[in-house]
Structure 1
Amino acid sequence: MTDSDSGQAQRELWNRVRARIKTAVGNDVFTSWFASLELEEIVDDVVHLSAPTRFLCSWVQSNYAERILEAFRQDVAEIGRIQVTLRVNGQARPRFAPVAAEPSTNEAPAPQAAPTLAPVSTIARFPRESTAAKGDALSGSAIDPRMTFDSFVAGEANEMAFGVAKQIANAAANNAVTFNPVYIHSTVGLGKSHLLNAIAHAVQQADSSKNIVYLTADHFMYHFITAVQRQSALGFKEWLRRVDLLLIDDMQFLQGKSATEFGHTLGTLLTGAKQVVVAGDAPPRDLEMLDERVRSRLSGGLVVPISGFDLELRRAIVQRRADQSTARYGMHFPAPVIDYISRAVISHGRDLDGAVNRLVAANQLTGELITVPLAEKTLGDLIRNREARRVRIEDILRIVSRHYKVPRNELLSARRSRDVVRPRQIAMFLAKALTSRSLPEIGRRFGGRDHTTVLHSVRKVESMIKDDVELGQEIELLKRMLEE
């Protein structure tokens, strides 16, 4: 395909994505936040968008990146990340601009200068004898320049993970290994990715010669599949085995041959006294899509949980984000507003960030002072939507397995017998109904199935419920069990 053909295909894809978003959010919201976005390019699994103002960059990345990502994945399931950059004089900032420039994720930047790092969008380093060109399979996932130890807010729920992460970074910078491997787990939005990014930053700052690789599980799988297709799998394996520090995020999404390969790589890295840090949303024993040997390896290292945030930690996070917004935009967050957010938004750190961002946007768009009544009006849906218990796919697998007396590994298997197929379809239906996971993500969690299989299962169960009152009552019972 020529460059012009590729460019035309990307423009057509972007038009379809814009149409989906407009249908989902309505004309007013679309005009406010999406109309001025432009597609710059799609490289590997990253979509690069641009916006005309810094505030719009920050707001879209913080609040709508997942929605945009889901819209893209309906056409291209391999898309893994959305990156929004500032467009100046009609041109987007270069993708390989210094990382300390325009922020691009859902955490507000600290007022102090960001640490100076290599002027690229990834901290991954390659063996000196190899030259990895742009777009090569041997590249890491992007590192967020603001996710440092200094910007991490520690409290009782995460202080052990915070301390372990700092100890790992210090040891790795001094060619030592303390705990290996280290596995950090928690539900979404409690700081796992922040700590992995912070470790990478700290080691990079201490010794820029270190080969540091940060990869999401999706990115790892993409690289491995690409290497196999290009008949360069051996080079990929050797590259991974020469790293000094390997950080794998979202481990729950790793499966199939990629999971097996990670198991081999993990063994080699541990034998060679290299440091490995992994993050996932469940303890190793609950990652049933992984090989038993990989789970055993992870369990045999240091397993560090992060629990839900208490009121004191939530208040500290809101205060930090409010102080950053005050420094950046000049608005005032009264103490009663900080207290209201801390008490009302109880789910996780990202929602706390989102609450502060919403009030910043409301203040900038309307000029209304930040008060408790404004917070009540602006955050009402966020609070209502977050009051229910957050359901995980692991919870659904456990409840469905127990209710129908089908082993969880059977739900993830390729078996097609009726006693397995129906519970599996019901589990997929519940995953779509009760979680925020996209169809491709659900398919990956159910043994690497295609998103069309998940969609078929969802529609099948919806159809059965219409004709079978008893089945409908049974599924409602399962929902109540999961939400209690």
Structure 2
Amino acid sequence: MADDASPWQRVRERLREEIGEEKFSSWFARMEVDAMTGESVHLSVPTRFLKSWIQENYLPRISELFTEESGARRRVDLSVRSAVARPVAVKTAVRREAPVAERAAAPRLRAVGAGATSAPQAASSPASSASTNANTLAASDMSSGSPLDPRLTFETFVVGKSNSLAAAAARQVAAAASGAAPVFNPLYLHAAVGLGKTHLLQAIAWAGEQHGRRTTYLTAERFMYGFVAALKTHSAIAFKDALRSIDTLVIDDLQFLKGNNLQQEFCHTLNALLDGGRQVVVAADCLPSDLEHLDERVRSRLAGGLVVELGPLEEELRLQILKSRYQTLTEQHPGFTVPLPVLEFLARSVGQSGRDLEGALNKLLAFNQLTGEPVTLEMAENAVKDLIRPCDPKRVRVDDILRIVAKHYNVTRADLLSQRRTANVVKPRQVAMYLAKTLTLRSLPEIGRRFGGRDHTTVLHAVRKIDRLLATDRSLADEIELLKRLVMEA
């Protein structure tokens, strides 16, 4: 094992760099190497949930990293280690944790005046008290939810034709008095990145509290971390009770919810809240039916409420957003002046989302402050030239790509989303991924999720492979052009 420790440490460090410290600590900190041979690596984690989640989301990537770091392809197995099989580690953990619990509980023992005659009882009390406090803190932490941005309120949300229905529904949900029956339940908002989903969800959370409703806003990632933390601290019941006792649960970015256990828990929580007359609001980047990695029961329950799309921002709405953001910037930077023709130019020419527009204004501010050059139309054209879109492209759906590619290559949509690796399926799948990357605004992780929950590295490999083949394979190039025309005409 001494010789094999180095590749394992390098794999850990690369994984940490790729996904960040917070995710690594939550999902991989307790993964250990049990054995290594020339052909295989045996890893273990302490819970079935961690095993299931890592297998579904990261095991192929871990296998790739081992191959790259050790120079040989090895099979990677993942198992749940048993506490019985590791008595030494368990004893060590107990010795290390007991003094902490005793120190934490010591002030309380002194406050109640515990004497020498009650020492045996006092010795058992701290552990119980610490466990209860941990459960209470975990539940409190979850009920407080993810942090809210004070700027994301209904007052700062700019309404136009493309988002008016979503905004009206969100306002009505948020305005409900405490104890009132939900009007739209669940309310499900979906849109591409940067069109206002998170803004509306956080506005609901802010307004709900003002109306006396116990409201919790959680990202799907925060929900996952909370569930894992509850399992670690044996406070799963407190976790569930904390979520099911609120008036309004707001879940953002549901497309990131992965893992069978997590989906089951979310399904139970969703059913408990809806059946109990509590309000649920959810946002994702696609329709409920397109969340293929979610259980059919969850998708059905979500689709049974009010489903509203926030559409692409029309030019008039983009201009209103720019004016609103510009007003905020002038309050922070009094000398910053942008003429109306420049704002109109940005509304016509820049980006597809509110974030693109805000980025363009920030770039003008930077140019103005760093160079001292006043903001003119000529200056703006030069400053944001890398953000200008050539035209308003048709909004292409991944579903249309899957349907057209499947028909062209005489395979099924299920084949494209499956794990099958036969040649008659692999090529169409890679072509479909390539088209999804080149014809849509979706990121690599988003495309991977739409293709059966694959990792973004799989999508990147497919895109690069098709790019290489197009340089030499004229027949494939003609096929791609035909498929592009069919998709754009769909």
1:270 maps onto 2:274 in alignment: yes
User: What do residues 169-195 of structure 1 show as CA deviations (whole Å, max 9, x unaligned)?
Assistant: 111545442110011122222211100
Of 196, 214, 217, which residue of structure 1 is paired with 2:217? 214
- Contact 2:250–2:281 (CA under 8 A) maintained in structure 1: yes
Whole-angstrom distance in 1 between the partners of 2:255 and 2:378: 40
Asked if the contact 2:190/2:197 (under 8 Å) is kept, the reply is yes
1:249-398 matches, within 5 Å, as 249-257=252-260, 258-330=262-334, 331-345=336-350, 347-384=352-389, 387-389=392-394, 391=396, 393-398=398-403
Instruction: Tell me the alpha carbon deviations over residues 22-55 of structure 1, each in whole angstroms, 9 at most, x when there is no partner.
Output: xxxxxxxxxxxxxxxxxxx954589xxxxxxxxx
1:288-343 Cα distance to aligned partner (Å, 9 max, x none): 33333222212211112222233322221111111111121111221212222222
Shift of 1:423: 2.0
How far 1:363 sits from its partner (Å)?
0.9
Q: CA deviation at 1:268?
A: 1.5
Q: CA deviation at 1:382?
A: 1.2
Structure 1 counterpart of 2:51: none
Structure of higher CA gyration radius: 2
The secondary structure found in structure 1 opposite 2:281 is strand
Q: For residues 128-186 of structure 1, what are the alpha-carbon distances to aligned partners after superposition, in whole Å with 9 as ceiling and x for unaligned?
A: 9711399x788733322210011111122222211111111111545442110011122
- Kindly provide the amino acid, as one letter, of the partner of residue 246 in structure 1: L
Provide the aligned C-alpha RMSD in A.
3.7
Question: 1:474 and 2:479 equivalent?
Answer: yes
* 2:443 equivalent to 1:453: no
Equivalent-residue separation in structure 2 for 1:232 and 1:422 (angstroms):
47
Cα distance change, pair 343–448 in 1 and its aligned pair in 2 (3 A):
closer
**Matching of residues 110-149 of structure 1 within 5 Å:** 130-132=136-138, 140-149=145-154
By how many angstroms is 1:272 displaced?
0.9
- Amino acid corresponding to residue 474 of structure 2 in structure 1: V
Alpha carbons of structure 1 residues 463 and 316: separation in structure 2 relative to 1, 3 Å: closer
Is the Cα–Cα contact under 8 Å of residues 321 and 353 in structure 1 kept in the other structure?
Answer: yes
1:168 match: secondary structure: helix
Q: Distance in 1 between matches of 2:234 and 2:421?
A: 33
| Residue equivalent to 1:168 | 173
Query: What displacement does 1:455 show?
Result: 4.0
Q: Does structure 1 conserve the Cα–Cα contact (< 8 Å) formed by 2:136 and 2:238?
A: no
Q: Which runs of 5+ in 2 are unaligned?
A: 1-9, 26-60, 63-132
**What is the letter of the counterpart of residue 247 of structure 1?**
V
Displacement of 1:249 in angstroms is 1.7
Q: Write 1 or 2 for the structure with the bigger share of helix.
A: 2
Aligned counterparts of 1:16 and 1:281: Cα–Cα separation in 2: 26
Q: 1:69 maps to what in 2?
A: none
- Structure 2 counterpart SS, 1:278: strand
TM-score w.r.t. length of structure 2: 0.66
Who is 1:247 aligned against? 250
Distance across 1 between alignment mates of 2:135 and 2:181: 24
Letter in 2 for 1:215: L
Q: Which amino acid aligns with 1:171?
A: A
Which of 384, 390, 403 pairs up with 2:408? 403
Compute the displacement of 1:352 (Å).
Answer: 1.8
The counterpart of 2:435, out of the listed 426, 430, 434, is 430
Structure 1 residues 145 and 447: CA distance shift in structure 2, 3 A: same
Please list the CA deviations of residues 218-265 of structure 1 after superposition, one character each: whole Å capped at 9, or x if unmatched: 443444455556665555444332332211222333344133432232
Aligned equivalents of 2:440 and 2:253: distance in 1?
16
Give distance in 2, aligned partners of 1:191 and 1:260. Answer: 28
Checking the alignment, whether the CA contact within 8 Å between 1:288 and 1:409 is kept in structure 2 is no
TM-score (norm 1): 0.66
Q: Sort the Cα spacing of 1:230 and 1:454 in 2 relative to 1 into closer, same or farther, 3 A.
A: farther
Q: Which amino acid aligns with 1:291?
A: D
For structure 1, which segment, 453-462 or 278-287, has the greater mean C-alpha deviation from structure 2 after superposition? Answer: 453-462
Say whether the 8 Å CA contact 1:185–1:304 is kept in structure 2.
yes
Please say if residues 255 and 447 of structure 1, whose CA atoms lie closer than 8 Å, have aligned partners that are also in contact: no
SS at match of 1:215: strand
Structure 1 128/233 Cα, relative in aligned 2: closer, same or farther at 3 Å? closer
**Cα pair 2:188 2:307 within 8 Å, conserved:** yes
User: Are residues 173 and 404 of structure 1, via their aligned partners in 2, closer, same or farther at CA, if it must alter by over 3 Å?
Assistant: farther
Percent identity of equivalent pairs: 52
Following the alignment from structure 1 to structure 2, what is the Cα–Cα distance between the partners of residues 227 and 418? 44
* Counterparts of 1:328 and 1:454, CA distance in 2: 42
Cα separation, partners in 2 of 1:380 and 1:458, compared to 1, 3 Å: closer
* Secondary structure of 1:370's aligned partner: coil
Q: 1:188 to 1:336 in 2, by over 3 A?
A: same
Distance across 2 between alignment mates of 1:229 and 1:149 = 38
User: Which amino acid counterpart does residue 326 of structure 1 have in structure 2?
Assistant: T
Please give the secondary structure, in 1, of the residue aligned with 2:138. Answer: coil
> Counterpart of 2:294 in structure 1: which amino acid?
L
Counterpart amino acid of residue 295 in structure 1: R
Give the length in aligned residue pairs: 372
Cα distance change on mapping 1:256 and 1:416 into 2, 3 Å: farther
Q: Is the 8 A contact 2:138 2:230 kept in 1?
A: no
Q: 2:174–2:205: 8 Å Cα contact kept in structure 1? A: yes
Residues 292 and 450 of structure 2 are in contact (CA less than 8 Å); yes or no, is this contact kept in structure 1? no
- Structure 1 range deviating more: 344-353 or 392-401: 392-401
In 2, the alpha carbon distance for the partners of 1:169 and 1:187 equals: 23
TM superposition shift of 1:374:
1.5
